[in-house]
Amino acid sequence: MEAAIAAGRLLALKDAAAVAREAVRIWAAGARRPGGFRVAISGGKTPEGFFRMLASLQDLPWPTTEIFWVDERHVPPDHAASNYHLARAALLDHVPIPKSNIHPMPTGSSDPKSDAQDYEVLLRRKFLGQSWPSFDLVLLGLGDDGHTASLFPSDPTLQESLRWVLATRSPQGISDRLTLTIPALNQASKKVFLVCGSGKAGILKAVLDPQASAPLPARLITGALFLADREAAPWASQA
């Protein structure tokens, strides 16, 4: 069942495979509309099954699809922790998308701030003349602490109102990150969270609670659709 919530809408589904299928349906519907399709994707464990399922749709209009990233760890592109590496292995190497349509975040310099600026230059060129990038779809994950993209609780980047891309630091794991900012994410036509597993149940409930006052980054994404499996949303009626 789809329910209205404070941060957007929740669609509770049977399992992770059902979450992936619904995300594929949303992607395919957007990609098949005329005018091209620009999507920003994320990494982590949850999207991998979705990527592999999406890779089976060879008949999508891949030549008119452009792929960007919502965030990235500041590691080489062939690093096991790279969001680009995951997407390439599970999806991009298996579909007929032109290499020129794939826009990973740069991580080649020793300065994450410089790489963030370079990615913003690329985005401003792709979305020429716009105040903010207008992605057709943004796919997001939900961290155990309520972070999304590489936007973490209490980080000053949450207050950014001018920049499209920033360097940030994670409190755990690989510290140096690049991330799209809250305003850049919020301008997308569709914002979809993929949330699976019992470990996400507590934080998902907190993000969706209209009475909650905690400044969780995921709550700052407006009008989002949360696709969750029954383990992540055990209290919700399933579709």
CATH number at residue 115: 3.40.50.1360
Instruction: Please check whether residue 107 lies inside any domain of the structure.
Output: yes
Instruction: Please check whether residue 236 lies inside any domain of the structure.
Output: no
Instruction: Please check whether residue 234 lies inside any domain of the structure.
Output: no
Confidence at residue 8, expressed as pLDDT on a 0 to 100 scale: 66
pTM for the whole thing?
A: 0.94
Residue pair 83/72 in contact by the 8 Å Cβ criterion: yes
Residue pair 179/151 in contact by the 8 Å Cβ criterion: yes
Q: Considering its fold, how many domains does the chain have in total?
A: 1
pLDDT above 70 for 5: no
- Measure the N-to-C terminal CA separation of the chain; round to a whole number of Å: 4
pLDDT above 60 for 2: no
Q: How does residue 215 score in pLDDT terms, banded at 50, 70 and 90?
A: confident
Instruction: Please check whether residue 90 lies inside any domain of the structure.
Output: yes
Q: How does residue 7 score in pLDDT terms, banded at 50, 70 and 90?
A: low
Instruction: Please check whether residue 155 lies inside any domain of the structure.
Output: yes
Instruction: Please check whether residue 235 lies inside any domain of the structure.
Output: no
Residue type, 146: G
The residue with tokens 């979705």 is: 50
pLDDT above 60 for 4: no
Instruction: Please check whether residue 239 lies inside any domain of the structure.
Output: no
Confidence at residue 184, expressed as pLDDT on a 0 to 100 scale: 98
Lowest mean pLDDT among 74-88, 115-129, 197-211: 197-211
Calculate the average pLDDT of the chain. 94
Instruction: Please check whether residue 71 lies inside any domain of the structure.
Output: yes
pLDDT above 50 for 1: no
What is the span of the domain harbouring residue 79? Answer: 2-229
Within 13 Å of residue 46, how many CA atoms lie on the same side as its CB? 30
